[in-house]
Amino acid sequence: MIAYVTVGADDIARAKRFYTAFLPALGYGVDEGAEGLSFALPVAPGQTPELPDFYVKPTFDGRPASAGNGAMVAFEAHTQQEVRDLHAAALAAGGADEGQPGFRDNYGPRFYVGYLRDPQGNKIALFSSNPDEPGRDG
């Protein structure tokens, strides 16, 4: 099980603007401190945390943050409309389009996805595989 994912950022304020444009809508709370941003899903008393947590931090070695070639973090939305809405919100908050929301021929018939780059260049996917919505072929 993946416990957490961390991406580096040189400008935490820009990263916060980008990530808070869509992660709270997916249920994530945010804590901000000197060490950066921490996003986690709420935990009811007596329940086990839902993982993974997501962190946006300055680099530990002090060198500029960089995006990993081939690395991507994907967040699951509830519906195709939510993918479209959150993709648009993330673009308005400083993200760059890496692929408009829609179905992709090389993925399953229900995998609806939009791709973005955060202000640091990290690749982010927002997707829905909701079985109650029409698929690519219907």
What are the sequence ranges of the domains in the chain? Answer: 4-58+66-128
Q: Which CATH fold would you assign to the domain 4-58+66-128?
A: 2,3-Dihydroxybiphenyl 1,2-Dioxygenase; domain 1 (3.10.180)
pTM for the full predicted model: 0.91
What is the model's pLDDT at position 68?
Answer: 87
Longest dimension (CA), the chain: 50
pLDDT, average across residues 107-123: 96
What is the model's pLDDT at position 137?
Answer: 85
Q: pLDDT of 50-101, one tens digit each?
A: 999 999 999 989 999 999 888 999 999 999 999 999 999 999 999 999 999 9
What is the model's pLDDT at position 138?
Answer: 67
Q: How far is 42 from 24, CA to CA, in rounded Å?
A: 11
User: Looking up tokens 């179905």, which residue turns up?
Assistant: 103
Of residues 34 and 82, which shows the higher confidence score?
82
Question: Residue 1: which pLDDT band, with cuts at 50, 70 and 90?
Answer: confident
